[in-house]
């Protein structure tokens, strides 16, 4: 079991470019697993954790409803945003500058073979990180992601999750609103959930901007503990 995870910060990258890169890493890992099964090759499978910020983009999961996007292509173009239907679970979501997106491409055979546990640990990583900023974040029953003031009229989502897995290899991941322009969420029904607000870390803290590098380091520290992983920083060009 290889618990070493290669961490790469891609900076700000186009969504489709990053998706293609994820797919490359994902398929490379699957190929190793298939070779091991067919030839008993005994090759170790790699694990990756990508950080990225995307230019404005809306993505719709394979079970999502296009009606949750409230504007047409012309309006999206006017707002400088793109749209993609993608192969993760979940409904519609938004990515943009100031939002911290994390894509773990893990072989869960190296950790545990339980997708439910995987999602809950990603949520816990975010919950523990937000606690360091004095925020009490939590889960909302039946709604994947991380929320504030659950069970009240003021419930609001701060982090969305959506993943894909095949042969226990994961891709896609989480999107944490750090310094996000929340106005872009007005163009959709976030994750298909009506009457629920969204928020960001800088809004909750009453700051113009939160140090996003600091947030990354906190997330990685909790990820390392929760997954009992060994992290290795690397530079990666996409």
Provide the annotated binding site for substrate: 88-95, 160-162, 173-175
Residue 113 structure tokens: 């073979």
The b-or-e profile of 15-36 (16+ CB within 10 A means b, else e) is beebbebbeebbeebbebbeee
Residue 88 DSSP class: S
Run of H or E including 25: helix 15-39
Q: What is the DSSP string of 172-228?
A: EEEEEESS--GGGGGGB-GGG-TT-EE--HHHHHT-S---HHHHHHHHHHHHHHHTT
Run of H or E including 171: strand 169-177
Residue 109 structure tokens: 């055979």
Among 191, 210, 219, 229, the active-site one is 191
Residue 92 structure tokens: 């519609």
The CA distance from 43 to 185, in Å, is: 44
CA dihedral 28, 32, 33, 35 (to 10 degrees): 130
Residue 150 CB partners (closer than 8 Å, separation 6+): 138, 139, 140
Per the annotation, the verdict on 159 as an active-site residue is: no
Q: Which residues line the annotated binding site?
A: 88-95, 160-162, 173-175
Give catalytic residues, as residue numbers.
191
């Amino acid at each position: 079991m290889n618990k070493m995870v290669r961490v790469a910060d891609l900076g700000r990258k186009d969504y489709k470019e990053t998706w293609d890169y994820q797919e490359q890493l994902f398929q490379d890992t699957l190929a190793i697993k298939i070779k091991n099964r067919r030839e008993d090759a005994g090759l170790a499978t790699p694990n990756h954790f990508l950080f990225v910020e995307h230019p404005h983009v809306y993505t719709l999961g394979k079970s999502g409803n296009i009606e949750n996007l409230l504007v047409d292509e012309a309006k999206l173009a006017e707002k400088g945003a793109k749209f993609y239907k993608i192969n993760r679970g979940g409904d519609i979501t938004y990515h943009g500058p100031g939002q911290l997106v994390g894509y773990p491409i893990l072989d869960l055979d190296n950790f545990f073979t339980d997708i439910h546990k995987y999602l809950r640990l990603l949520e816990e990583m975010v919950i523990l990180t937000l606690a360091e900023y004095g925020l009490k974040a939590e889960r909302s029953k039946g709604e994947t992601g991380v929320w504030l003031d659950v069970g009240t009229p003021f419930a609001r989502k701060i982090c969305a999750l959506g993943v894909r897995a095949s042969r226990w290899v994961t891709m896609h991941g989480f999107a944490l609103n750090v310094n996000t322009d929340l106005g872009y969420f007005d163009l959709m029904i976030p994750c298909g959930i009506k009457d629920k607000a969204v928020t960001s870390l800088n809004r909750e803290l009453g700051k113009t901007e939160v140090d996003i590098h600091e947030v990354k380091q906190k997330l990685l520290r909790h990820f390392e503990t929760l997954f009992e992983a060994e992290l290795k920083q690397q530079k990666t060009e996409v």
